[in-house]
Structure 1
């Protein structure tokens, strides 16, 4: 997942001069707000404040931490309308998608409060070895300390609270380093958490970009680094972090397989929004559609027809399906990948007109091996449709990729579904649902170059805690 398309060399210069960096509304081109990077001084003070707050509240009872998050959810709900408007203006997300994201974010914070009881320890049968006779042992899960959370632009509320809420309720303090476009949203959420009852110091926001993210990862008082972002960013942060806990939800190139026995109409209905809504700027957006030959032409015809019916344009309108991509730099990168496909002789169906940061739904048919759209993460409203001779070929094509975040398969056969579960190399797989579908109560995360660790309840609690063993010699 691409965390930001801002030119970091420009930002570094701005940081050095203590200048603000303008973030533009990607639809209107007007400056939405300015970010003043925190730099080394604010980084140090944020971590220091977080560590002090962690130590102060380390022994806070679980019911009190749950009450904090219940209050935080209520406070977020009270500013939900503001969060929606900022999401539209700052990243160009269409209104209905922005409203859905903020609503989901509030629900997730509440869910963390009610699921805290799932954070359990266990009895260890130490007397299973001779020297353990007469001894008693147990484990409990304890927080790490200070968590550095580096968050992306594409879901600035939801992907922030997916880290903040579990880490906080498990007993940690959190320093958030949002992407530039998500800075004001992160600050608004942090204020809501404090207004809801979370003690001062436990939630910090550090504005900035690469310099601040790497500095946080390397800071000796940061105990956990968690990132949702690109694989290259994950590599850089993991190197900077060194020997400390690293959680990364990284790049994706989701394959959606349509087998000959699938309900084609249903597959089209689900894969079209998975491909293009939010302008394809989700790590699990559909990017590769792999279709068995016998139903390829029918699927393609229906898919193109459905994509053409999507409404593209002004993200402030309630019926817009696709708004702009996040920036002109992002648009240029995506267009370059489309041009690479055209240069290789691919058939390209563009369902509308290009205009500044607006990229309409774009479909590339049967691209040859080596095409960038097959191997790289496009992070835009572009999909490739690839012909597979049979189920074996479909599995081979799906797995011929370094990413393995989430995928899907459409089939009416339980045997085919179980085979996909066994053989598709991803962290999570949906059958008869498209790859962008996600719930917050299953383990979400990738394999291979798509990252390490899992989000979702109760799995996220385990990521932000560690087991501590206590042994007792009974008198």
Structure 2
């Protein structure tokens, strides 16, 4: 049976340059798709085309930007099943999670369509002094210009959508480098964008080798870099970005707190989801859990029972909850981190076994804070439990991390809620749910090594636009 192949997109056009990039089925390990890989010359052409497209994209009326985004919404809906199947294959996502991500793709473009007609300005009072009484002022937002976008493997649709959709809404041409392990989702978005009447050069989507991708960061014709990925790579890119602003979402080792008065059934259900959906391959996956000592043993027992019942295996099976990790090497790394913790005295309560790329969901306690499972981002199906007695001390434990993306708290006391919001050094505090919660219109991003700036359509548009002042002197 022939293997489907996909082109890359250069200046809005499909280019069947080669089939050099093999994309594996993450469950079977067999080659499922072949993708055209771009080179340094293609990237140069894409950047030059984006620079030429800057003026016509800026001049594109907001209703036309909206209509492009709405066209994508309708085409995503029509191809919903196909999009989900691709995600199961190239990402190894279980079918339920794949369908959920396609729905979020649709919602993200819908939000962008709505925001595209709201990129406004303000009237600025100028009569703040006698000398300026005759003046009037106003501002508007204008596109920053061509932007570069780099996305990771774990959300091949929605993390792409959170960069592409606001770029279109803001009127910015873009050049996107999707992850080599999961490029097909981005190319399907490109296929649908190519159906639209956008200025030539409005978009390019180029799977690239890392050694060819430096201009995405360093070329001054690109006016902003938006990157999602590892903190090590993100901060390195920022150091090389020169004059351009950089927006980075870099991950974390998210913490969750369960207080004494929490609804245990609800908390356990949400903790299992937050830690193990998508096999833990999410930057806001529940990793560290603080549990009040009065309910610790009961919650632990319920959690172990629930986790033991999770089914792993073929992501196409609707009953499967745990699918494969993105590579076998990642599965081996997760197992190595579990062994490191247990060798240093941690207790493995459930899971922690490997078959190929699948790691059974693991819950541990008594994990030392010097262990990687505690202080690094595991990006796998692992949860670490820890009891607490003092709420203030528990907040300090949550803050004891070089990351700060989101934190979740199951707590009913409004005073504690306000204290957590004031004291937790994170980008978002989620109450009565896990830190894995995200809605695509909200500001999303972190502090410390978790990144810089905020995504969420409205906030991404703000990053992709600049304020331009008009001041008029009355005569």
Q: TM-score, normalised by structure 1?
A: 0.93
Structure 1 distance, partners of 2:66, 2:302, is 48
The answer as to whether partners of 1:20 and 1:36 remain within 8 angstroms in 2 is yes
Q: Does 1:193 align with 2:193?
A: yes
* CA shift digits 1:91-111 (9 cap, x unpaired): 100011001101110121022
Q: Does 1:343 align with 2:343?
A: yes
The answer as to whether partners of 1:375 and 1:401 remain within 8 angstroms in 2 is yes
Match of 2:307 in 1: 307
The answer as to whether partners of 1:444 and 1:455 remain within 8 angstroms in 2 is yes
Q: Does 1:272 align with 2:272?
A: yes
* CA shift digits 1:4-44 (9 cap, x unpaired): xxxxxxxxxxxxxx993433222101012345542211110
SS in 1 for 2:295: helix
Structure 2 distance, partners of 1:102, 1:19, is 26
The answer as to whether partners of 1:214 and 1:236 remain within 8 angstroms in 2 is no
Structure 2 distance, partners of 1:307, 1:64, is 49
The answer as to whether partners of 1:194 and 1:200 remain within 8 angstroms in 2 is no
Match of 2:259 in 1: 259
SS in 1 for 2:127: helix
Matches within 5 A, 1:302-381: 302-351=302-351, 353-381=353-381
Deviation at 1:190, TM superposition (A): 0.9
SS in 2 for 1:195: coil
Deviation at 1:325, TM superposition (A): 0.5
The answer as to whether partners of 1:35 and 1:208 remain within 8 angstroms in 2 is no
Structure 2 distance, partners of 1:206, 1:132, is 51
Matches within 5 A, 1:376-455: 376-455=376-455
Structure 2 distance, partners of 1:137, 1:257, is 48
Deviation at 1:149, TM superposition (A): 0.8
Match of 1:30 in 2: 30
Structure 1 distance, partners of 2:425, 2:228, is 20
Deviation at 1:383, TM superposition (A): 1.1
Name structure 1 gaps, 5 residues minimum: 1-17
Matches within 5 A, 1:216-255: 216-255=216-255
- Higher mean C-alpha displacement, 351-360 vs 125-134: 125-134
Deviation at 1:353, TM superposition (A): 4.2
Deviation at 1:386, TM superposition (A): 1.3
The answer as to whether partners of 1:72 and 1:198 remain within 8 angstroms in 2 is no
Closer/same/farther in 2, CA of residues 213 and 304 from structure 1, 3 Å limit? farther
Deviation at 1:166, TM superposition (A): 0.8
SS in 2 for 1:466: strand
Deviation at 1:143, TM superposition (A): 0.6
The answer as to whether partners of 2:126 and 2:135 remain within 8 angstroms in 1 is yes
Q: Does 1:148 align with 2:151?
A: no
Which aligned segments of 4 or more residues in structure 1 are displaced greater than 4 angstroms?
none
Structure 1 distance, partners of 2:74, 2:199, is 16
Structure 1 distance, partners of 2:364, 2:32, is 34
The answer as to whether partners of 2:122 and 2:138 remain within 8 angstroms in 1 is yes
Structure 2 distance, partners of 1:463, 1:101, is 24
Structure 1 distance, partners of 2:213, 2:80, is 27
Q: TM-score, normalised by structure 2?
A: 0.93
The answer as to whether partners of 2:143 and 2:170 remain within 8 angstroms in 1 is yes
Match of 2:15 in 1: none
Deviation at 1:75, TM superposition (A): 2.1
Closer/same/farther in 2, CA of residues 19 and 439 from structure 1, 3 Å limit? closer
Aligned length: 458
Structure 1 distance, partners of 2:236, 2:212, is 12
Q: Does 1:290 align with 2:252?
A: no
The answer as to whether partners of 2:342 and 2:348 remain within 8 angstroms in 1 is yes
Match of 1:62 in 2: 62
* CA shift digits 1:16-73 (9 cap, x unpaired): xx99343322210101234554221111011111222222232111111111111122
* CA shift digits 1:283-327 (9 cap, x unpaired): 111010111212111111111111112111100112211100011
Structure 2 distance, partners of 1:313, 1:129, is 71
Match of 2:469 in 1: 469
Matches within 5 A, 1:41-60: 41-60=41-60
Name structure 2 gaps, 5 residues minimum: 1-17
The answer as to whether partners of 2:111 and 2:441 remain within 8 angstroms in 1 is no
- Higher mean C-alpha displacement, 77-86 vs 40-49: 77-86
Structure 1 distance, partners of 2:213, 2:232, is 13
**RMSD, aligned α-carbons:** 1.7
Structure 2 distance, partners of 1:352, 1:288, is 16
The answer as to whether partners of 1:25 and 1:92 remain within 8 angstroms in 2 is yes
